A and B are shown apart, each in its own frame.
Chain A
Amino acid sequence: MAADFKTAQPVEYYRQFLKKDVRPDGRELGEIRSTIVNIGSISTAEGSALVKLGNTTVICGIKAELCTPTNDEPKKGFVVPNVDLPPLCSPRFRPGPPSEQAQVVSQFIADVLKDSKMVNHEDLCIAEGKIVWVLYCDMMCLDYDGNVIDACIISLLAALRNVALPSIEVDEETAKPKLTSSTSSTMTVQSLPVSTSFAIFDNSILIADPTNEEENLATGVVTVVTNECGELCALHKPGGSSLSESQIQECVKRSFSRGDEIRKLLDETFNSLDR
């Protein structure tokens, strides 16, 4: 009976739940699904992390390659993020070139990476003007159940902290790169941005960490990215219902507490790895 009602009147179905300040999956309005992080699961990658946010699953693998820097910035390496939403993750994506959604998410992640200054590009320099590292960060969604942006950013953050680069030097005589020792060094991540997304339901109710269903029914979405210093890196609201100042304040507040939770979770995960 409930299933029929849900199919016929999805919005009304949600309203009945939201009236009682609860969501169909049992969460409160501001509650975020359980987050699981698995680090270093792909041994062929220099750094990797798998993140599960409820059912939403994203895997991020980072491959490092050598390349020559640009003439303008001879000391700076490159970080190239890319988000792939393959048809495997949801029936809404068709095989073929990257969907609009994939391109939009990729661009957003690239902006966050740049704006928050996560990586010091000069750390990626091997020989000035000759050789630098380029880190290809490929995030692939394996199960699309809403809020991929948050899952992607957590996976990127965890994978970047997991990156181990081999030590390389340029041979004076042949001018070719060579491996100096088999030990690899971990990279320092300068800033730890965490994003929190909200959906706006019926032009007024804010719900945190929307599922795919909730995203489809929502009249708008907001994504807030915060860093560990209590600053904002992005407040992205692409159209949709208008928000009052107090609602934005609420989102930002929730986002800061969420950011601390995730940074703590990552620290704990990394500590358990070291042991």
Chain B
Amino acid sequence: MTSQRADCGNLELRSQSCEQNLLSRPDGSATYCQGDTSVIVAVYGPAEVKQSKEFLDKATLEVIFKPKVGIPGCSEKFQERLIRNTCETIVLTALHPRSSINIIIQVMHNAGSLLSCCVNSTCMALLDAGLPMSCLVAAVTCSLSCDGDIILDPTSQQEKEAKAILTFVFESRDNEIITSNTHGIYSIKQYYSCVEACRKYGFVSCQSPLGTTNTVEQ
């Protein structure tokens, strides 16, 4: 019943592309495309911070998630928190105490695997802004079909048909999971096989984040 993707197999990622530094006003910006899913991210900072939000020992990191249409609600706040926590883990905020780092994520088009696209895009934008980071991150989404098949980087149609959708964020040092977000019901065994399937690709893109950009664009 699962729809087969035309461009590639189910255990491969869709074609990825990334462009950095395309906006002139922000300190760093990047757009990331996974298949038809596309997100643009702008990073401002380190800059001055409002006194009420100031931390004495680290920078204040804020994430604003803008959906393609409509006004942001609870689920956007949830995504914001997820991405903010992920960024706080990798950005060395202690190097910029009493300052702010703002990350604005604008969804351009959602054709599945939105969360992973947002995280990847944010990582590239942070890189472009030249903020010190302890490591890089790579996010991969996968879905489990009703018969238990794993589909990497699913499209929206595949997400709709899926029994469960899992997104993982891996760091580049030891390739361990730093973020895990799941929807749907699955067994622990399936969870691990998803982690393994995703890790393989997380590793590749983490190894050469700029490399992937270039090769795919060519």
Contacts and interface: CB of A to CB of B under 8 A. Distances in A.
A/B touching: CB–CB < 8 A:
yes
Given A104-B78, A106-B74, A239 B178 contact: yes
Contacts of B27: none
A239 B86 contact: yes
Contact of B81 (A104, A111, A233): A104
Interface string A226-251: 01001111111111111111001100
A243 B31 CA distance: 29
A72 interface: no
B7 to A, nearest CB: 29
A172 interface: no
Given A231-B187, A232-B186, A244-B176, A238 B74 contact: no
Contacts of A222: 180
Nearest to B179: A239
A217 interface: no
B88 interface: yes
Interface string B46-79: 0000000000000000000000000000110110
A245 B192 contact: yes
A127 interface: no
B89 interface: yes
A116 B164 CA distance: 11
Contact of A231 (B169, B179, B181, B185): B185
B90 to A, nearest CB: 9
A236 B181 contact: yes
Contacts of A243: 176-177
A222 B181 CA distance: 10
A18 interface: no
B191 A232 contact: yes
Most B Cβ at <10 Å: residue of A227, A239, A248: A239
Contact of B177 (A116, A233, A248): A248
B176 A238 contact: no
B183 A111 contact: yes
| Binding site secondary structure of chain A | mixed
Contact of A107 (B74, B88, B164, B169): B74
Interface string A195-237: 0000000000000000000000000101000010011111111
Interface residues of A, number: 33
Contacts of B80: 100
Given A115-B184, A245-B192, A252-B188, A237 B179 contact: yes
A230 B82 contact: no
B140 to A, nearest CB: 15
A239 B89 contact: yes
Contact of B88 (A110, A234, A239): A239
Nearest to B196: A245
A244 B77 CA distance: 28
A100 to B, nearest CB: 6
A165 B181 CA distance: 35
B89 A233 contact: no
B77 A238 contact: no
Nearest to A114: B183
Contact of B178 (A116, A227, A237): A237
Most B Cβ at <10 Å: residue of A108, A222, A235, A238: A238
Interface of A: 100, 103-104, 106-108, 110-111, 115-117, 220, 222, 227, 230-245, 248-249, 252
Minimum-distance CB pairs A-B, first 9: A239-B85, A242-B176, A107-B78, A239-B86, A103-B77, A237-B180, A238-B85, A107-B74, A242-B178
Interface of B: 74-75, 77-78, 80-82, 84-89, 164, 169, 171, 174, 176-188, 191-192, 195
